[in-house]
Structures are given as structure tokens and as C-alpha cells.
Amino acid sequence: MNLSHPVSSRRAAFSTIAIAALALSALALPAFAQEVSRVIAIQVYAEVHGSEDPYIYGVAPENEPVYVSPGQRLRLTLVGTGLVDGEGEEVEIPANFNVSSGPSVDIIGRGQNWVDISIRRNASGVAGSIGYRVGNDYTMRNEIRSGRIILEVEEEE
């Protein structure tokens, strides 16, 4: 005689599958969810809309300008070099963004660690800058916790 109830068996099977899935997902946690002891640098991936090849620029402490063209739309994704188990790894850097200077740049979308911007067609020289402020998710020097991403128009040759 079988004493197991069909519904109980399905619940047990579902529970086993759910536990197994959670265990596997815990093994594949992204770096930002792992134990990051300290963030030592901030970078930005600049990806032109429609392109699949982002460029990476050093934001802090390097302060490299992101090169843009008039009329361009870009996604700027903030990442950092974090120390994970004593090794440097790229980690997502959640931040708040704002236009900190310049009349030639507009924010057209935003996410946890990215911002979409549009460069106006009449932009020249330094088009503007996007300010960022990192929350308290990571330990880092105050000098890199907030700053600016400088947007510089490329000179045509």
C-alpha cells in the first residue's frame, strides 16, 4: 500500500527542484553580490547606441574624458575594480546620475549602474559632464565615491 499523497509528492519534487536551483544560482552570483572588500577604481563603459563595442574609460582616479560626437546617443555603464578575495575584479557600481555641467548633454534614461545620454547636434569642445554618486554599497575612498564623467567632442580630422 502506497501512503504518499500525489499532491504531497509533487510538492516534494517541486521543493527539491527549487532548492537545487537556488543552490546553483548561489554558485554563479555576480561579483557585486560576492564579498567585495574594497573598490579601488571607477571606470565607465561608453557604448554608442546601435554599436556592440563599448569603449572603457578610467573615471577615478584617472579622469579620462569620454569622447563623443554631436548627435550621438550613448549608454554609460559605471563599473569598478573591486577586491574580491584579495583579487581585482570588475564589479557593478550602483549610483545616482545627474547632468552636472554643460548645455549640450541630456539624460534620456537610467538604471541601477547606467545612464543613457544624448549629445546635442551643436556640441563642441567639452559637451558637458555627468555626475555620479555611489551609495554605501561598497567601501571606497571618498575621492572616488562621487565624481564626474567628462564628455568631450572628438575633433574631426
Give me the phi and psi of 133, to 5 degrees please.
-140, 120
The verdict on residue 23 lying in a domain is no
The verdict on residue 3 lying in a domain is no
Q: How many domains does the chain have?
A: 1
pLDDT at 28: 42
pLDDT at 155: 74
Give me the phi and psi of 145, to 5 degrees please.
-65, -30
The verdict on residue 22 lying in a domain is no
The verdict on residue 14 lying in a domain is no
pLDDT at 119: 96
3-state SS record for 123-154: CCCEEEEEEEEECCCCCCCHHHHEEEEEEEEC
Parent domain of 132: 33-153
The verdict on residue 19 lying in a domain is no
What CATH code is carried by the domain that includes residue 132? 2.60.40
Q: Which of 8-17, 102-111, 130-139 has the lowest mean pLDDT?
A: 8-17
**pLDDT of 33 above 50:** no
* The pairing of beta strand 146-153 with beta strand 66-68: parallel
| pTM of the model as a whole | 0.74
Q: Write out the three cell numbers for 156.
A: 574631426
38-96 residue pLDDT tens: 999 999 999 999 888 899 999 999 999 999 999 999 999 999 999 988 888 999 999 99
123-145 residue pLDDT tens: 999 999 999 999 887 899 999 99
∠ CA 43-115-78, nearest 5°, is 20
In angstroms, rounded to a whole number, what is the distance separating the alpha carbons of residues 125 and 136? 34
